[in-house]
Chain A
Amino acid sequence: MTERSVSIHVPAMTRVEGEGSLRLRIEHGEIRELALDIFEPPRYFEKFLEGRRYHEVLDTVARICGICPVAYQMSAAQAVEDAFGLEPGPWVRDMRRVFYCGEWLQSHALHVHLLAAPDFLGFDSVVGMAARHPEVVRRGLRLQGLGNALIRLLGGRSVHPVGASVGGFFRAPVEAEVGDMLEQLHAALPDAHDLVLWAAALKLPQDEQAFTSVALRHDTDYPFAQGRIVSDDGLNIAIAQYGDHFVEEHRPHSTALFSLLHGAPYLVGPLARLNLNRDHLPAASLTLLLQTGVVFPSSNMFHSLLARTLEIHVAIVEAIRLLENYRRPTAAQVAVTPRAGIGYGATEAPRGLLWHRYELDDRGIVRAARIVPPTSQNQARIEADLRRSLLQYGLNRPDDKLRLRAETVIRNYDPCISCATHFLKIGVTRR
């Protein structure tokens, strides 16, 4: 019996967002081992937060991710306010939603154009793709830039923004800034519209599979920062009950925890959100979705890309709606009075549900923190998807083809490890 052991090593680009590798062992045409290893930094942040005062939490958690700091800040603000029994009021709620729209825009535009699209158009990287599809890439860069501008409007800067606080924001934008932003948002609507139709026309792999979608669901709105946690299996719980249904477990090959819902993998992120909230899309976005002819809920994992582009449209439409009648308030935040308690926060990060829990004492000092990021929630689902996708694709294909298909499957979840175009170290062992 011959054993061929091939290890393809791609220098990983590491900062804090994470590093991934895949170990794949194939014996007699069957997958004997398949493990996605992830290093996820948020675990350490929970310890860093202990002993910190409540007003340090937002700046700290923003550092967990350079791409979705707003999500971390919004889940944390909600959790601390929940513990303090604080209601920040409608202006703050609306502006947080606008802030979040900025993050969805920039994060989704980055992923769709720079990371995912080359997979579906047959290029190694966005650079190669840009030579053949320059208008697509330029459109993506414009939308990403708009998202950054929207984050700056409320956050002061687009990377690790500093504008948000427990109780609201440190500063309310003046009307002229909002007016300028509105002009840019209106001007971007045709780009978002065309992007959705472009995504719907892409030849995506047909890959129907069974999975459970989990997302927030609000009474009336497409979910960003409010709602109950629901699934298409009938789960419908308050965010404080998360721990009764979801369990995180260690597995030897990963420093990230695997999250399971009632013992099974599940999906969070744009496809899960759209599958569960199609009826809460803004009217213009729903009309656009109908125009594509693609039916949601969808069980094709690769429709995540289309869902992501539709959420870019949602983010622009929502930001316009919320900013259109903007009046600068006299105060951008409500007064905060610490009290001892436990608080929960759950919002929809670009990559999916981001759940926080804090215990604070009567001086507002964090005694315990727990953060469940979307990437670790998707980890078990990604492994399950990889296993069946590779089997369906054919294990007898050459290593480089297997690797590309594995990368495409993983990238489709937009995990933080898809940071670089070639992020994956893959070791294939064959017998």
Chain B
Amino acid sequence: MIRIIGLGSPFGDDQVGWRVIELLQDRLDPQVDLVALDRPGAALINWMAGVRRLVIVDALVSGHAPGHTARLTDSDLDALAGGTSSHQLDLAQTLALAGALDCLPEQVEIYGIEIDALQRTGLSGAVADSAVTLAKTLAKTLTDLPVTRVETPNSCSRS
């Protein structure tokens, strides 16, 4: 199975991951599963069961201009770790935990869209534009591929 997860919260630009999911609705093969999650922390792992290819879209604060979109590597994630979360595991730690639990899908792609952390309501213009661009890119990448549902059984439960 292919699953795209938008991570975020209802506050300002932090919604951008959800916006990408919204833009992808009805534009992909129905077998691509679209999920918007509100700050799941380690519970993100519960969404990895049976997934072969996982795409994560999240807001990013890394010093670039708002709207800057990047596909993140492991070292990018490590560099970002620890800055934005307190009681919960951050994304890098959660992926490390998923790896230790043997729950990681075969393919994991993470896209970050730089946000304006001070944006209070709705999405700021540049960020909204980048959401549209990323959604188009993802739609193109994923519709060009033959989508076959591969239920990889693993022991990570989804609740």
Query: In the complex, what residue of chain A is closest to B98 when comparing beta carbons?
Result: A130
Asked if A145 contacts B100 (CB within 8 A), the reply is no
Inter-subunit contact B87/A66 (CB<8 Å) = yes
CB nearest to A11 among chain B residues:
B82
Segment of B41-49, B106-114, B121-129, B137-145 engaged in the interface with chain A: B41-49
B101 x A137 contact (CB < 8 A):
yes
- Using A66-B88, A157-B38, A159-B39 as known contacts, say yes or no to A420 and B82 having CB atoms under 8 A apart: yes
**Interface check B159, CB cutoff 8 A:** yes
CA distance A66 to B158 in the complex (A): 22
B97 within 8 A of A: yes
Segment among A12-20, A236-244, A278-286, A393-401 that sits at the interface with chain B: A12-20
Inter-subunit contact A146/B159 (CB<8 Å):
yes
Asked if A159 contacts B159 (CB within 8 A), the reply is no
* Main secondary structure on A side of the interface with B: helix
Residues of B within 8 A of A149 (CB): 159
Tell me the nearest residue of chain B to A17, going by C-beta: B86
A326 to chain B, nearest CB (A): 20
- Contact in complex: B42, A114 (CB < 8 Å): yes
The reply to whether B82 and A13 form a contact with Cβ atoms under 8 Å apart is: yes
- Decide if B9 is an interface residue (CB 8 Å cutoff): yes
CB of B108 to closest CB in A, whole Å: 16
* A29 interface residue per 8 A CB criterion: no
Asked if B156 is at the interface (CB within 8 A of a chain A CB), the reply is: yes
Residue contact B9 to A134, C-beta cutoff 8 Å: no
Chain B residues near A17 (CB, 8 Å)?
86-87
Q: For the complex, give the distance between the alpha carbons of A149 and B38 in Å.
A: 12
- Judge whether B93 and A127 touch: CB under 8 Å: yes
A 1-30 contacts with B by CB, 8 A:
11, 13-18
At the interface, yes or no: B119 with Cβ under 8 Å from chain A?
Answer: no
A15 to B41, CA, bound (A): 14
Contact present for A141 and B46 (CB under 8 Å): yes
Contact across chains for A419 and B87 when beta carbons are under 8 A apart: yes
Between B38, B40, B84, B89, the greatest number of chain A beta carbons within 10 A of the residue's beta carbon is seen for B89
B73 within 8 A of A: no
Q: State whether the Cβ of A184 lies closer than 8 Å to any Cβ in chain B.
A: yes
Chain A residues lying within 8 Å of B43, measured Cβ to Cβ, are: 141, 144-145, 148
Q: Taking A66-B39, A416-B87 as given, write out 13 further A-B residue pairs in contact, using a Cβ cutoff of 8 Å, ordered by the A residue number.
A: A13-B84, A13-B85, A110-B87, A127-B96, A127-B97, A134-B155, A141-B157, A145-B43, A145-B158, A149-B159, A157-B38, A159-B9, A420-B86
